[in-house]
């Protein structure tokens, strides 16, 4: 394998993530490693605990050559959309030979071949979402979706897997020096650090120290520098902003938004008087036929103004890949320069240049990604402001 792609959230980056990047080179012989990573929001329908730039720096330090940002509509979509968006990005690099992912079993899940007449487009409007196979862990479910996406695009990309290290995706307790991302998030945020205006009750140094055993040796310094200026985030940080969006839109309903069908739109309108916050509203809406994660994604799409028509344009006009946006790169790698000639779509490294290479539809979609990141930065900034995405340079290490 000359170039291996890794699809990830790194929320947050830990030793298991470092292990998979290392295995891409040591076990599978990759000369280059491309990471396609969720930006400031993740597939569960939540803000990432720390921002995409800090997570990018950790991934590059671990050995990735380049980190590309998955558009927010796919980063916050169901497993099928998440996988198709990420696989399409790797396909459009023009150089990806294999996709490496962790799985509980260490084996490639068997799936039926996908096809380009999939019902995904209909699902946008009807709410008839593919049910999750309850026998599969979250990682194996995504692995199956990656393989189906490779088949859907008829891509000449080989699926590769290694077993997850020591702990499963949802394990609450560390084991043998490893901890799941969800366990690390709880340790990192502490009991109340993610919902108070000033989480000074737990210092940046203390929070970094609490997870030091479970993250790579270089990560605590990156984390301490981040936490000195930024807050860790949870959905409830966005409660007031979401309520404002819900009140403003309630007269016309929410069925135009991604992941929301008419019955759910009616339910959101009918339950508004019970609204007390982002997560408590999810609990108020939850029922046996709709998952917590689906509801969280739906509400996040209202907040971020992500509509079904946006996703339909991404799917039908751009084949799930409107651009390749670089979040960070290793200066010593030859891969970034190779991508300039091999990529099957526009590469964005400076947002100020995007309008010169994107058409009107792609530019409008990119503006939604930029607005989503600006909202995140505002919520995370301890001084209550933000630095615009237009002023954020890519992460470069050497």
* Nearest-angstrom CA–CA distance, 334 and 227: 32
Q: pLDDT digit string (tens) for 323-362?
A: 999 999 999 999 999 999 999 999 999 999 999 999 999 9
pLDDT at 114 over 50: no
pLDDT at 316 over 60: yes
Confidence of residue 176 (pLDDT cuts 50, 70, 90): low
* Nearest-angstrom CA–CA distance, 86 and 8: 9
Residue 323: φ, ψ to 5°: -165, 170
pLDDT at 1 (0 to 100): 67
DSSP for 220-262, written as a single string:
HHHHHHHHHHB----GGGGHHHHHHHHHHHTTT-STTBTT--H
Q: pLDDT digit string (tens) for 51-66?
A: 999 999 999 999 999 9
pLDDT at 386 over 70: yes
pLDDT at 187 (0 to 100): 77
pLDDT at 15 over 80: yes
Check residues 316 and 214 and name the one with the higher pLDDT. Answer: 316
Confidence of residue 174 (pLDDT cuts 50, 70, 90): low
Confidence of residue 81 (pLDDT cuts 50, 70, 90): very high
129-166 CB burial, b ≥16 within 10 A, e <16: beeeeeebbbbbbbbbbbbbbbbbbeeebebbbbebbb
pLDDT at 109 (0 to 100): 67
User: Averaged over 163-173, what is the pLDDT?
Assistant: 58
pLDDT at 133 (0 to 100): 45
Q: Which of 71-80, 116-125, 158-167, 245-254 has the lowest mean pLDDT?
A: 116-125
pLDDT at 113 (0 to 100): 43
User: Averaged over 101-114, what is the pLDDT?
Assistant: 67
Check residues 109 and 33 and name the one with the higher pLDDT. Answer: 33
């Amino acid at each position: 394998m000359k170039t291996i792609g890794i699809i990830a959230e790194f929320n947050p980056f830990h030793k298991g993530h470092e292990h998979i990047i290392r295995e891409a080179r040591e076990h599978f012989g990759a000369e280059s490693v491309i990471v396609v990573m969720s930006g400031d929001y993740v597939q569960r329908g939540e803000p990432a605990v720390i921002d995409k730039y800090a997570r990018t720096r950790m991934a590059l330090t671990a050995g990735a050559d380049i980190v590309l940002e998955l558009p927010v509509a796919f980063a916050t979509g169901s497993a099928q959309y998440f996988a198709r968006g990420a696989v399409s990005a790797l396909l459009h690099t023009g150089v990806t030979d294999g996709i490496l992912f962790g799985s509980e079993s260490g084996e490639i899940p068997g799936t039926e071949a996908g096809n380009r007449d999939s019902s995904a487009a209909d699902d946008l409007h009807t709410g008839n979402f593919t049910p999750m196979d309850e026998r599969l862990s979250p990682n194996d479910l995504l692995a199956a979706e990656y393989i189906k996406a490779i088949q859907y695009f008829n891509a000449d990309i080989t699926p590769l897997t290694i077993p997850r290290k020591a702990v499963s995706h949802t394990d609450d307790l560390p084991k043998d020096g490893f901890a799941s991302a969800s366990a690390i998030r709880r340790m990192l945020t502490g009991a109340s650090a993610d919902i108070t205006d000033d989480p000074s009750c737990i210092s940046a140094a203390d929070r970094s120290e609490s997870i030091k055993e479970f993250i790579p040796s270089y990560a605590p310094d990156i984390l301490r520098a981040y936490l000195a200026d930024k807050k860790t985030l949870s959905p409830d940080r966005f409660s007031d902003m979401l309520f404002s969006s819900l009140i403003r839109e309630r007269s016309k309903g929410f069925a135009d938004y991604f992941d929301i069908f008419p019955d759910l739109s009616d339910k959101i309108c009918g339950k508004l008087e019970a609204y007390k916050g982002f997560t408590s509203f999810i609990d108020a809406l939850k029922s046996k036929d709709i998952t917590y994660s689906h509801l969280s994604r739906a509400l996040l799409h209202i907040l971020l103004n992500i509509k079904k028509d946006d996703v339909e344009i991404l799917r039908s006009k751009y084949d799930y890949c409107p651009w390749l946006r670089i979040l960070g790169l290793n200066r010593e790698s030859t891969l970034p320069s190779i991508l300039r000639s091999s990529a099957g779509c526009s590469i964005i490294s400076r947002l100020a240049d995007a309008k010169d290479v994107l058409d009107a539809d792609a530019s409008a979609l990119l503006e939604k990604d930029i607005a989503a990141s600006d909202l995140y930065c505002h919520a995370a900034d301890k001084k209550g402001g933000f630095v615009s995405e237009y002023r954020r340079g890519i992460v470069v290490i050497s």
